């Protein structure tokens, strides 16, 4: 075998084809004559194939952790800015939640699709002052007006024009988004356009803030202080002036404003309608098409329109970036639409696929609201289109999210409450201020068009309103109705979609599953639904067909164990139960480990919530403490489940204790250590015990290092695993039949009975037996001894080394 | 082809283009993570290491020479990270360090002698047997049979001699085949 060694080492290279032609030939020749090497090559080749396929197989089963990219990106960001923003996610989430609630009454995912902010947000980090603010904004009309007033002031304060803000609204930005855009523009070293661009690309606010060089903490601070002071200002007034953009008129002739929830009664006789110059009177019909500013006063909660100033003259002013108007679709052709507005003015509108956000399928005869670019009078481009807000079915609460406007950005869901005018048919007292909307108003893509259409048709055809209301909560997947704690029966789960007895739902960004434990609730990733049995009742909350939160009431088995091992490839966790039996649990990425799995070490006491052998939650029962100093001594006693060293009892828990035999003289030659087991321990062995971990209830894991001598060395035929120990003290126990008690350098005391055979050793040679009592006349201090230990710890042989 | 595309992407990553970085991640995220998991057999640590590896790719993208193939460069980063992880991998407690001072070097469980390992479980499957290899052996096995590197490339990646690679590889293969035989017979 040795004669072939060189060639055998080359076999691997031969197999991979990297040998030189000459060497290759040599190997080939050798194999043809040497059966051993040939067989070895076959084995090697077989093994290589097995390894490759097994590793590939295993690699295939390894799933990239879903959160990894987010983590990487975060660390890259942190690296970029060299700033410590460890807590900003939480704060950002808090601000997001606060803003979302404040402006839309909803937990909108304003922080974007990057990362899992909503997971954090689910902790409802909303502070008291903000909630107060929300409260004061929730009262119907005045609330809306105040809110808008605060918003406008905020906008002015940050130096952003109406045009810019309007553009954001058109893009579907929520008011919370807008506030963040403004604050980041103001505080960061980025321009407004850069902020908007990043947002449009789908980046989350936290990241954008970070890029712009500001901590989200400062955003939170700015927002809080600005909004706080503005709210005070608004609250202290009973009368104030508000500027708003006029969007048009509703069916009852009320003014519909772009950023108010409630329409304003319009009395032509009591309002000054002027052109851009502020002096030329104009007709009401001139208003919506070109945009106008309404100035009105709020007196005791009621709006009093003062002056409407048209913003642009139709002919000599440059065309606006876009206009928003309500039109009826006259015809649909390949290029676009022909529409006619309320004034009978007909437009040809071009649809450019990349630029036009068309929310509804254009249908002849439908009335829609559209935003139109007008680069030239004969070339008007559709920018976005949606059903008229005030024509939506009456079961829409004004605070419910309207359909996304425009679509295209998954992340943007236009939120109600800000640009949703109240319908005429809906009395004020029908509003439910406490309704908070929902996480996201994103309908399933496939029925997006249909559902909007249906809404539209309903109104146009005059479907009975009550019927509509009654059917609104039935979970119909195309309905935008908000639902809370609706009980459904779970059927199946597949990547963000769940099927239930009442239809299919989409999981909203950051949707969590809440599992009720004995005394608490635990949030788990939705993937846990893979482990939920069909037929389980779920309590779901959300909007339309999008679920924001799922509550599951399932019975989990709860047990306390000692952690042994996590086998990543098998996705298994091994633990010991109280009877010290080894048990395996399955787990996957949806299992929740508290804290992180890598903090678990063998021996740790853990609590497991499981079902059918699958771990839902694994948590440390108690944070382990630092271990103490290593304990050096000799094994004094061995019991069934442990041993004693230096009067201290150590419990040996299978699987959590390592036993290692060390021969110090063979150090550096390899093979100086070898694992042994509990059964190999014998009393008298010199050991070093290291407590790996412990907690209040005791030791969690141990390492026991047993020091030994090389067998065969020392006195001939001496017992294995013993070594010479120096006597530091001794006494004769005359009461006990003349036994000898030795105190050794290790600190251990050993008792030599009078009938114990004692051998005299000089220069490592046994010179003969000696009677124990004959030693009484000798000073034993400083002499070395070796001993053999028998059953029950009794010393069965003592060797005593004498100097020459 | 893959490498050419990666080299191009890397040029943009070097400029700080996060979209390019994301693209790179989409292409190699699985490869990196799987390589690490297979070498470490521990998801949690693997995730942490993968994160560090990607941060290094980001930080050192400028140092990458786009005229050279990308995958060896990537393998090198992965291996370096694994090696430094192996080095730092000591049971976390101070008493053990104390012990080492006294002259006891704690044994790594993975370094069980072959005999003991075989006694433990004769019917071990190969992938389980992989667990019993030393870190170094396992790393070489993964580099060779998962990442598909040649001995010379492994030597370059690990900055060790080819003979050392061969020795590790051979040792690992021998141990594995011994175990496989025992498993078959057992």
The model's confidence at residue A425, banded by pLDDT at 50, 70 and 90, is very low
Rounded distance between C-alpha atoms, residue A373 and residue A656, angstroms: 72
B47 vs A65: CB contact, 8 Å cut-off? Answer: yes
B45 vs A598: CB contact, 8 Å cut-off? Answer: yes
Predicted local confidence at residue A433, as pLDDT: 31
Contacts of A671 in chain B (CB under 8 A): 113
Contacts of A69 in chain B (CB under 8 A): 22, 25, 29
Per-residue pLDDT, averaged over B127-147, amounts to 80
* Three-class DSSP category at A450: helix
pLDDT higher than 60, residue A642: yes
Q: Residues A682-722: pLDDT tens digits? A: 887 888 887 766 777 777 777 777 776 433 333 333 333 45
> Residues near A23 by Cβ (< 8 Å), separated by ≥ 6?
A10, A13
Top residue of B13, B25, B38 to mutate, by most chain A CBs within 10 Å, is B38
pLDDT higher than 60, residue A388: no
Sort strands A379-386 and A346-350 into parallel, antiparallel or unpaired: parallel
Q: Which of B52, B58, B96 lies closest to A690 in CB terms?
A: B96
Contacts of A8 in chain B (CB under 8 A): 170
Predicted local confidence at residue A145, as pLDDT: 61
Per-residue pLDDT, averaged over B107-114, amounts to 35
B177: closest chain A residue by CA:
A47
Predicted local confidence at residue B47, as pLDDT: 87
Q: Residues B37-69: pLDDT tens digits? A: 888 777 788 888 898 899 888 888 877 888 888
Query: Which of the residue ranges A503-517, A536-550, A613-627, B18-32 has the most confident prediction, judged by mean pLDDT?
Result: B18-32
The model's confidence at residue A263, banded by pLDDT at 50, 70 and 90, is low
Rounded distance between C-alpha atoms, residue B58 and residue B53, angstroms: 9
* Three-class DSSP category at A14: helix
- The angle formed by the CA atoms of residues A283, A155 and A203, to the nearest 5 degrees, is 115
Rounded distance between C-alpha atoms, residue A307 and residue A295, angstroms: 5
Neighbours of B108 (CB within 10 A): 14
Does the bond joining A595 to the residue before it have cis omega, within 30 degrees of 0?
Answer: yes
* Of the listed ranges A555-564, A705-714, A778-787, the one predicted with least confidence: A705-714
* Of the listed ranges A154-163, A571-580, B106-115, the one predicted with least confidence: B106-115
Identify which has the larger pLDDT, A607 or A713.
A607
Q: Residues A191-217: pLDDT tens digits? A: 788 888 877 776 666 667 767 776 655
Tokens linked to A155: 């906008």
* Three-class DSSP category at B144: helix
B141 vs A48: CB contact, 8 Å cut-off? Answer: no
Predicted local confidence at residue A446, as pLDDT: 35
B44 vs A48: CB contact, 8 Å cut-off? Answer: no
Predicted local confidence at residue A84, as pLDDT: 32
pLDDT higher than 70, residue A614: yes
Q: Residues A313-333: pLDDT tens digits? A: 333 333 334 565 677 888 887
Q: Residues A122-162: pLDDT tens digits? A: 222 223 333 344 444 555 455 656 666 666 666 666 667 76
Predicted local confidence at residue A421, as pLDDT: 31
Q: Which of A59, A68, A692 lies closest to B91 in CB terms?
A: A692
Do the Cβ atoms of A288 and A325 come closer than 8 Å?
Answer: yes
Query: Chain B closest CA to A545's CA: distance in Å?
Result: 30
A12 vs B169: CB contact, 8 Å cut-off? Answer: yes
Query: Chain B closest CA to A692's CA: distance in Å?
Result: 7
Predicted local confidence at residue A311, as pLDDT: 53
Query: Which of the residue ranges A270-274, A596-600, A767-771, B87-91 has the most confident prediction, judged by mean pLDDT?
Result: A767-771
- The angle formed by the CA atoms of residues A151, A154 and A157, to the nearest 5 degrees, is 155
A72 vs B55: CB contact, 8 Å cut-off? Answer: yes
| E-only strand ranges, A396-535 | 482-494, 497-500, 503-516, 521-524
A16 vs B150: CB contact, 8 Å cut-off? Answer: yes
B41 vs A568: CB contact, 8 Å cut-off? Answer: yes
The model's confidence at residue A649, banded by pLDDT at 50, 70 and 90, is confident
Q: Distance of CA A623 to CAs A628, A649, A653, A654, A693, Å?
A: 15, 22, 19, 21, 10
A79 vs B106: CB contact, 8 Å cut-off? Answer: no
B146 vs A76: CB contact, 8 Å cut-off? Answer: no
Query: Chain B closest CA to A509's CA: distance in Å?
Result: 20
| Residue among A547, A551, A524 nearest A537 (CA) | A551
Predicted local confidence at residue A577, as pLDDT: 86
A61: closest chain B residue by CA:
B34
- pLDDT, averaged across chain A: 65
Q: Which of A75, A568, A571 lies closest to B51 in CB terms?
A: A75
Predicted local confidence at residue A432, as pLDDT: 32
The model's confidence at residue B97, banded by pLDDT at 50, 70 and 90, is very low
Query: Chain B closest CA to A455's CA: distance in Å?
Result: 39
Q: What is the DSSP letter of B145?
A: I
> Residues near A640 by Cβ (< 8 Å), separated by ≥ 6?
none
For residue A747, how many C-alpha atoms fall within 13 Å in the half-sphere facing its CB?
12
Sign of the C-alpha dihedral computed for residues A519, A91, A619 and A516 taken in this order: positive
Rounded distance between C-alpha atoms, residue A761 and residue A755, angstroms: 18
Do the Cβ atoms of A111 and A102 come closer than 8 Å?
Answer: no
Identify which has the larger pLDDT, A655 or A610.
A610
Top residue of B20, B90, B93 to mutate, by most chain A CBs within 10 Å, is B93
Query: Chain B closest CA to A165's CA: distance in Å?
Result: 27
B131: closest chain A residue by CA:
A567
Number of A to B CB contacts under 8 A, please give it.
160
A595: closest chain B residue by CA:
B44
Q: Residues A91-120: pLDDT tens digits? A: 344 444 444 434 333 333 333 333 333 323
Predicted local confidence at residue A183, as pLDDT: 74
Q: Which of A566, A628, A674 lies closest to B95 in CB terms?
A: A628
| Residue among A99, A85, A93 nearest A226 (CA) | A99
Q: Hey, which residues does A376 pair with through a beta bridge?
A: A379
Sort strands A379-386 and A367-376 into parallel, antiparallel or unpaired: antiparallel
**Burial readout A473-490 (b: 16 or more C-beta within 10 A, e: otherwise):** eebbbbbbbbbeebebeb
Is ipTM beyond 0.85? Answer: no
Dihedrals phi, psi of A656, to nearest 5 degrees? -115, 0
Neighbours of A342 (CB within 10 A): 15
B153: closest chain A residue by CA:
A18
Identify which has the larger pLDDT, A229 or A402.
A229
A49: closest chain B residue by CA:
B145
Per-residue pLDDT, averaged over A585-594, amounts to 76
The model's confidence at residue A413, banded by pLDDT at 50, 70 and 90, is very low
Q: What is the DSSP letter of A51?
A: H
B113: closest chain A residue by CA:
A674
Residues found in chain B: 186
A673: closest chain B residue by CA:
B107
pLDDT higher than 60, residue A754: yes
Dihedrals phi, psi of A357, to nearest 5 degrees? -95, 95
- The angle formed by the CA atoms of residues A264, A265 and A270, to the nearest 5 degrees, is 115
Identify which has the larger pLDDT, A135 or A583.
A583
Predicted local confidence at residue A526, as pLDDT: 74
- pLDDT, averaged across chain B: 72
Rounded distance between C-alpha atoms, residue A322 and residue A290, angstroms: 9
Predicted local confidence at residue A41, as pLDDT: 83
Q: What is the pTM of this model?
A: 0.31
Top residue of A7, A19, A51 to mutate, by most chain B CBs within 10 Å, is A51
* Of the listed ranges A308-322, A538-552, B168-182, the one predicted with least confidence: A308-322
Q: What is the DSSP letter of B143?
A: I
Tokens 């407690």 map to which residue? B93
Predicted local confidence at residue A5, as pLDDT: 57
B16: closest chain A residue by CA:
A80
Predicted local confidence at residue A418, as pLDDT: 25
Q: Which of A47, A54, A76 lies closest to B173 in CB terms?
A: A47
Residues found in chain A: 804
No. of helices (H) and no. of strands (E), chain B: 10, 0
B96 vs A705: CB contact, 8 Å cut-off? Answer: no
């Amino acid at each position: 075998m040795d004669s072939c060694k060189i060639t055998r080492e080359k076999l691997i290279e031969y197999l991979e084809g990297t040998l030189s032609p000459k060497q290759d030939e040599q190997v080939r020749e050798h194999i043809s004559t040497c059966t051993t090497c040939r067989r070895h090559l076959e084995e090697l080749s077989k093994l290589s194939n097995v390894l490759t396929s097994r590793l590939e197989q295993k690699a295939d089963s390894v799933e990239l952790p879903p959160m990894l990219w987010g983590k990487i990106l975060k660390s890259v960001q942190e690296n970029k800015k060299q700033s410590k923003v460890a807590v900003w996610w939480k704060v950002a989430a808090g601000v997001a939640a606060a803003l979302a609630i404040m402006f839309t009454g909803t937990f909108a995912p304003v922080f974007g699709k990057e990362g899992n902010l909503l997971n954090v947000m689910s902790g409802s980090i909303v502070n008291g002052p903000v909630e107060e603010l929300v409260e004061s904004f929730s009262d119907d009309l005045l609330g809306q007006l105040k809110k808008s007033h605060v918003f406008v002031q905020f906008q002015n304060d940050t130096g952003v024009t109406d045009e810019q803000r309007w553009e954001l609204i058109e893009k579907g930005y929520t008011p919370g988004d807008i506030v963040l855009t403004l604050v980041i523009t103001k505080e960061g070293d980025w321009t407004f356009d850069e902020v908007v661009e990043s947002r449009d690309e789908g980046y989350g606010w936290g990241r954008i803030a970070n890029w712009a060089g500001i901590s989200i903490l400062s955003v939170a601070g700015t927002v809080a202080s600005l909004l706080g002071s503005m709210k005070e200002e608004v609250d202290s007034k009973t009368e104030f002036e508000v500027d708003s953009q006029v969007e048009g008129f509703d069916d009852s002739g009320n003014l519909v404003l772009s950023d108010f929830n409630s329409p304003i009664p319009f009395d032509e006789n009591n309002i000054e309608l002027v052109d851009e110059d502020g002096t030329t009177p104009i007709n009401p019909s001139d208003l919506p098409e070109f945009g106008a500013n309404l100035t009105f006063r709020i007196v005791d909660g009621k709006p009093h329109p003062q002056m409407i100033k048209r913003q642009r003259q139709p002919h000599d002013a440059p065309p606006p970036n876009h206009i928003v108007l309500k039109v009826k679709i006259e015809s649909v052709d390949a290029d676009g639409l022909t529409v006619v507005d309320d004034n009978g003015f007909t437009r040809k509108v071009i649809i450019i696929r990349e630029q036009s956000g068309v929310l509804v399928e254009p249908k002849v005869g439908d009335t829609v609201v559209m935003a139109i670019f007008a680069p030239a009078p004969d070339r008007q481009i559709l920018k976005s289109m949606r059903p008229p807000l005030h024509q939506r079915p009456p079961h829409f609460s004004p605070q419910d999210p309207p359909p996304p406007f425009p679509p295209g950005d998954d992340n943007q869901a236009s939120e109600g409450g800000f640009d949703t005018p109240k319908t005429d048919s809906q009395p004020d007292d029908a509003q439910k201020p406490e309704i908070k909307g929902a996480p996201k108003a994103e309908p399933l893509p496939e029925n997006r068009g249909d559902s909007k259409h249906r809404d539209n048709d309903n109104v146009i055809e005059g479907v009975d309103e009550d019927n509509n209301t009654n059917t609104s909560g039935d979970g119909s997947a195309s309905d935008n109705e908000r639902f809370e704690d609706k009980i459904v029966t779970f059927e199946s789960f597949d990547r963000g979609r769940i099927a239930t007895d009442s239809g299919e739902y989409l999981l909203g960004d950051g949707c969590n599953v809440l599992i009720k434990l004995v005394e608490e609730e635990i949030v788990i990733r939705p993937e846990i639904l893979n482990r939920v049995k069909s037929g389980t009742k779920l309590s779901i909350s959300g909007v339309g067909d999008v679920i924001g939160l799922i509550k599951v009431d399932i019975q989990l088995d709860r047990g306390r164990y000692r952690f042994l091992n996590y086998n990543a490839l098998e996705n298994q966790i091994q633990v010991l139960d109280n009877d010290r039996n080894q048990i395996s649990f399955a787990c996957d990425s949806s299992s929740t480990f508290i804290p992180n799995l890598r903090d678990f070490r063998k021996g740790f006491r853990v609590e497991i919530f499981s079902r059918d052998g699958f771990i839902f939650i694994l948590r440390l029962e108690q944070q382990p403490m630092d271990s103490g100093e290593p304990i050096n001594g000799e094994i004094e006693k061995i019991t069934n489940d442990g041993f004693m060293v230096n009067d201290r009892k150590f419990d040996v828990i299978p699987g959590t204790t390592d036993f290692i035999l060390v021969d110090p003289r063979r150090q550096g030659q390899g093979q100086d250590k070898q694992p042994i087991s509990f059964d190999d321990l014998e009393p008298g062995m010199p050991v070093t015990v290291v407590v790996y971990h412990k907690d209040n209830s005791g030791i969690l894991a141990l390492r026991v290092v047993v020091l030994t001598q090389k067998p065969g060395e020392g006195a001939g035929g001496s017992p294995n695993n013993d070594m010479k120990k120096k006597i530091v003290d001794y006494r004769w126990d005359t009461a006990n039949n003349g036994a000898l008690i030795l105190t050794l350098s290790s600190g251990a005391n050993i008792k030599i009975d009078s009938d114990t055979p004692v051998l005299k050793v000089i220069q490592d040679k046994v010179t003969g037996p000696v009677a124990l009592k004959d030693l009484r006349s000798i000073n034993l201090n400083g002499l070395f001894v070796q001993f053999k230990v028998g059953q029950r710890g009794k010393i069965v042989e003592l060797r005593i080394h004498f100097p020459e | 082809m893959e490498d050419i595309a990666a080299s191009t992407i890397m040029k943009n990553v070097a400029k700080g283009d996060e979209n390019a970085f994301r693209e790179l991640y989409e292409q190699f995220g699985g490869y990196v993570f799987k390589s690490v998991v297979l070498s470490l057999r521990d998801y949690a640590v693997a995730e942490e290491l993968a994160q560090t590896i990607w941060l290094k790719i980001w930080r050192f993208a400028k140092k990458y020479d786009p005229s050279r193939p990308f995958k060896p460069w990537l393998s090198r980063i992965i291996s370096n990270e694994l090696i430094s992880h192996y080095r730092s991998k000591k049971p976390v407690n101070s008493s053990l360090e104390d012990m080492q001072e006294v002259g006891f070097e704690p044994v790594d469980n993975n370094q069980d002698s072959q005999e003991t390992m075989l006694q433990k479980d004769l019917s071990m499957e190969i992938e389980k047997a992989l667990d019993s290899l030393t870190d170094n052996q396992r790393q070489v096995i993964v580099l060779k049979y998962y990442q598909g590197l040649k001995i010379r490339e492994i030597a370059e990646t690990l900055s060790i001699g080819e003979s050392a690679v061969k020795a590790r590889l051979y040792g690992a293969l021998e141990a594995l085949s011994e175990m496989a035989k025992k498993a078959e017979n057992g």
